[in-house]
Chain A
């Protein structure tokens, strides 16, 4: 599904990531951890072609990212749900319309079922906020809305960057339970987080691999997790 082979990313003459080798198989669940600034977000960006590797190879859905056209990139992104730390929306349309936008851009607007959208909003705790504009949402609400938008297309892969960073413990558990449920449905999940408690709790629910970025390199986390 996603394959990195000796991939690296260099910015301004400094190695952010180097010699990364990783394979995300269909249906797998991965956590990515590491200290702040270690390159977790950069690695996620490499996984959906927001960044190009400066060395090595990255393949997304069997396609080498260097050989992809812009249309290819758009096509693979429809199969990947991304939740950013700083989630961005179209600020002039409602949260509900933002949620259904991925369907609209992929020509599947006729598949929009407002009942399903309501269920999704309810699941992420935004039942009352569907008609609000994104700038009216708090940080936590924006993250939940971003997660809802990421999964509305039923993507094969979900990349989440600190998806529980701005929400309380109860909501964090609920969001992780949603991701676990999606994983049981066969979706591949990669979550970048520095919250070790969250990782420990989730590992009791699902078989997850924990990867750590340390000194620009990717390692399998130890038994302490």
Chain B
């Protein structure tokens, strides 16, 4: 309760309290610049984190809802085994649809490795069947057993081995983005603490005069806290605005660019950077407050 009251006191009371601290151009600019730079980096880390989050979700959703059946059989048996597999799939619960991929689609899949105009009919390329799942999906173990009985050349791939490392990588990238944001906030707190300590050390006479006339520590601290919080807020607001403009001018998401062109904010995510200046102000508030009370207790 006392702590709450002291926080409130920093914002209330004499609203001109910070006039007792002499203007200090250098620390003022340093604090604003630091807050601005940190806010700029935070917005980009946030964009990266959100983009990887979206990517992880998309990969997870897309790969989780599909499976592929690969049929490798002698030329004469390929059509029969394909038909047998489709028949098994038609009678399996949890399968929405299944279709044999066309030669053109398979050619397109192989194009990145073999180049265009691949003579698919001269190569022993297995037949691929794309399976779309519904509900909870099929019983994969049971399906594998049925396929091995009906079509010995068919191999079911439920994408688990692809999906897990991709989703893990994207999730860790998102975590790294969040850790970066926390490190940036910590760095900003450290820099503002140093600037506040420097300002407090340079204003020993001011503190002496204020104490002589009966100023409580909370009044003196408030003068410094107000100033540094305001500087951090203004600096961070400018940094955030510049970063949001930068993100807005990133290329639009495109299939060809994959992840890199998807960096940015989507929908309501555009509102998230707006809390960065607020967080910067809160960080500055606590950093200055702790530095001020520590310095004042040393001076007593």
User: Do these two chains interact?
Assistant: yes
Could you tell me which A residues sit within 8 Å of B by CB distance? 50, 70-71, 73-78, 82, 84, 88-93, 97, 101-102, 104-107, 109, 149, 153
Q: How far is the CB of B202 from chain A (nearest CB, A)?
A: 12
Return the 4 tightest CB-CB contacts between A and B, nearest first.
A78-B214, A77-B214, A105-B215, A92-B22
User: Within B237-292, which residues are at the interface with A (CB < 8 Å)?
Assistant: none
Residues B13 and A70 in contact, CB atoms below 8 Å apart:
no
Within 8 A of A (CB), among B208-233: 208-217, 219
Report B-chain residues with C-beta under 8 Å of the C-beta of A92: 22-23
Q: Which of A74, A88, A91 contacts B214 (CB 8 A)?
A: A74
Rounded to whole angstroms, the CA-CA distance of A68 and B14 in the bound complex is 25
Contacts of A75 in B (CB 8 A): 214
Contacts of A91 in B (CB 8 A): 22, 205
Q: Are B16 and A104 in contact (CB under 8 A)?
A: yes
Is B294's CB within 8 Å of the partner chain A? no
* A107 in contact with B13 (CB, 8 Å): yes
Residue of B nearest to A146 (CB): B212
Contact present for B213 and A70 (CB under 8 Å): no
A108 and chain B: residue at smallest CB distance: B14
Report whether over half of chain B's contact residues are helix, strand or loop; otherwise say mixed: helix
Indicate the member of A73, A90, A91 with the most B CB atoms within 10 Å.
A90
> Which residues on A sit within 8 Å (CB–CB) of B13?
107
Q: Number of A-B pairs whose CB atoms are under 8 Å?
A: 63
Q: Report the Cα distance A169→B290, complex, angstroms.
A: 49
CA distance A117 to B23 in the complex (A): 25
Assess the A101–B212 pair: CB atoms within 8 A: no
User: Contacts of B210 on A, CB cut-off 8 Å?
Assistant: 101, 105
| A71 and B217 form a contact (CB under 8 A) | yes
27 pairs across A/B with beta carbons < 8 Å?
A50-B212, A70-B297, A70-B300, A71-B216, A74-B211, A74-B215, A74-B216, A74-B217, A76-B214, A77-B213, A77-B214, A78-B213, A78-B214, A82-B212, A90-B22, A91-B205, A92-B22, A92-B23, A97-B19, A102-B214, A104-B16, A105-B14, A105-B215, A106-B214, A107-B14, A109-B14, A109-B16
Which of the residues B14, B22, B206, B209 comes within 8 Å of A104, measured between beta carbons?
A: B14
Q: Are A77 and B209 touching (Cβ within 8 A)?
A: no
Within 8 A of A (CB), among B13-28: 13-14, 16-17, 19-20, 22-23
Q: A91-B22, A92-B23 are in contact. Are A105 and B213 (CB under 8 A)?
A: yes
B297 neighbours in A (Cβ, 8 Å): 70
